Chains A and B, each alone.
Chain A
Amino acid sequence: MNSPITNGDQQLYSMAQIIRTEWLKIKKYPAFWWVMGITALTYPGVNAIFVYEYYDLTEKRSAAGQVVKALLGNPFALPECWKTVAYFSSIFVFIPAIVIIMLITNEYTYKTNRQNIIDGWSRKTFMTGKLVDVLILSAIVTALYAVVALIIGIYNTTSATTGKWQMVYYIGLFALQTFSQLSLAFMVGLLVRKSFIALAIFTFYFIMLEPIAVNVIRVKLHSNIGRFFPLQVSHKLIPRPAFIGRLDEKDYQASLEAVKYHVGYTLVLIVLTWAFCFWVNNRRDL
């Protein structure tokens, strides 16, 4: 006897159909694989450079080298490695952001967003597809970070070390930060619609505008309000590595303390970002 089709079955089928359709759009898109390849090289590559720099500094037998070693500890040993690699990797989120921006602006360039609606998707389904893209890409980037952190960590940790998995929750924080920042990149693409302009705006804001604005506000106005800027909200999820934090221990402890609050702020920002994206897409003519 056939079991009745429930609402849950229907939703599961719809989600599978959305993922399948998005996969059909992506799997033969050369630019997607190029940028993913660059991402796959960048994350281990950048962290490897920092690891080699560290060994280059600390393996010197000079007094200075030994002072540096004593001061830094080994930020690439477990469990600290989870945070150190997360911090360095998070700087390069603008590379997967390129993919996210291309995936949404392509739809406008080729007018395929309107064709998807004509063919039978609702605007909500279309946006759900894009939300799935951002989620999947965030998961891929997070997995890449986790693998890089684990390999570097194992390579740099002695077997006697205890608490290797203490800071493994940084995988969750990295995932949240990546999803939040890629969601913002998506929003820029959705609003601007032109790929190069959207890429320029996001990259300029990410690399230049927000960091400068936050620091100007902090130094000139003595205000910490900059932590509520869109990228800073999730940037604060992954504090600086401990060895940098030693330059200002009080500030470092405050940044660790702020993480739990920023988890909440980031979740709120993610909800607001996607609510706004769904609202915009639902209202505007295609």
Chain B
Amino acid sequence: MSVLTLQNISKSYGKIQALSNLSFEIPQGCVFGVLGPNGSGKTTLLSIILDVLKADSGNFLWFGQPGSPEQRKKIGSLLETPNFYHYLSAVNNLKITNSISGRGDYRAIDAVLQKVKLFERKDSRFSSYSLGMKQRLAIAAALLGNPKVLVLDEPTNGLDPVGIAEIRELIIELSKNGHTIIMASHLLDEVEKVCTHVAIIKKGSLLTTGAVEDVLADEDTIEISAADIAALATVMKGYVNSIKVLQDGNFLQVSMPKGTARLEDVNNYCFSKGIVLNHLVFKKKRLEAKFFELTNN
């Protein structure tokens, strides 16, 4: 069952087309990354599904039903920036979250503040917090009452490396417990570590979506090297399965159709052409490479 279904969502700001006919589904229990360069429409998309922005056309369904306040109460959300009353403490801000959403109770407030390591400063005013602490409080608000669906827009913004690792572990833990997490990010390394599914958007249009391994594994890549790298490049361009041969320093990246890269065959081919390889590995494609490949076109 889909947690969220987007159907032909479009949104413009004057002449700027922020989203254009966006349609995809987010399966239950996944960690879904919405990726895109700055200004690609990630936050606009999340704002629409949280009813902060109105779509010009198209619609979205949460659990098969049109979006409603009652559904939003069950979703823990962090959108763009931590939005809290500056004159109130962390605890009093979370009491408002609790009062509006009905998620959690006063005991749960202490628990989430401990989880994000803000408990010691729970009575300090929000205005006295650092950027990282504000972000932690926003994550605590999203986690309040243990909602089954979380929408997190750039959740690691402003966090130090330890904080980033903690949030990563938290997302993995929540995912293992059956939560569905929808996160927008441009930190591809982080996304690759935690996401099971992705959608990549650019200038408001969907470039690709699906399970991470499916999105990445559209072709095989091997990395090879030899003493005469120029001769090796010439030879590999003649290899039957080669799609693309790129030189990266003393190495060649050779792309082949998915499932056709067999290292023994490559080694034999090169040897038969009089070249002895000194390096031969199968390269797993990185999300970053795929992202650049898609968004630079």
Residues of chain A having any CB pair with chain B under 8 Å: 17, 20-21, 24-25, 28-31, 106, 110-112, 114-122, 125, 285-286
Contact = CB atoms under 8 A, between A and B. Distances in A.
A112 B84 contact: yes
B9 to A, nearest CB: 14
Interface string B153-194: 000000000000000000000000000000000000000000
Contacts of B52: 114, 117-118, 285-286
B85 A111 contact: no
Nearest to B125: A28
Contact of A118 (B74, B79, B86): B79
Contacts of A111: 81, 83
Nearest to A31: B87
Chain B: number of interface residues, binned into ranges:
20 to 34
Nearest to A20: B99
B54 interface: yes
A25 B83 contact: no
Interface stretch (B22-30, B88-96, B202-210, B268-276): B88-96
B81 A120 contact: no
A28 B69 contact: no
Contacts of B50: 117-118
B72 A24 contact: no
A194 to B, nearest CB: 16
Contacts of B87: 28-31
Contact of A122 (B69, B83, B92, B97): B69
A246 to B, nearest CB: 49
29 contacts: A17-B99, A21-B99, A24-B92, A24-B95, A24-B96, A29-B85, A29-B87, A110-B84, A111-B81, A111-B83, A112-B84, A112-B85, A114-B79, A117-B52, A117-B69, A118-B79, A119-B72, A119-B100, A119-B141, A120-B69, A120-B72, A120-B100, A122-B69, A125-B69, A285-B52, A285-B53, A285-B54, A286-B52, A286-B53
Nearest to A124: B69
Nearest to B69: A122
Contact of A106 (B70, B77, B85): B85
Contacts of B99: 17, 20-21, 24
In terms of DSSP, what is the predominant structure of the interface of chain A?
helix
A120 B84 contact: no
B228 interface: no
Contacts of B83: 110-112, 114-115
A8 B174 CA distance: 38
B51 interface: yes
A125 B99 CA distance: 13
B160 to A, nearest CB: 24
B96 A118 contact: no
B53 A116 contact: no
A30 B73 CA distance: 29
Nearest to B78: A118
Contacts of B97: 119
A119 B73 contact: yes
A110 B100 CA distance: 17
A21 B141 CA distance: 15
B101 interface: yes
A178 to B, nearest CB: 26
Interface in B7-65: 47, 50-54
A21 B96 contact: yes
Contacts of B69: 117, 120-122, 125
A128 B88 CA distance: 22
Contacts of A29: 85, 87-88
A133 B96 CA distance: 16
A286 B48 CA distance: 10
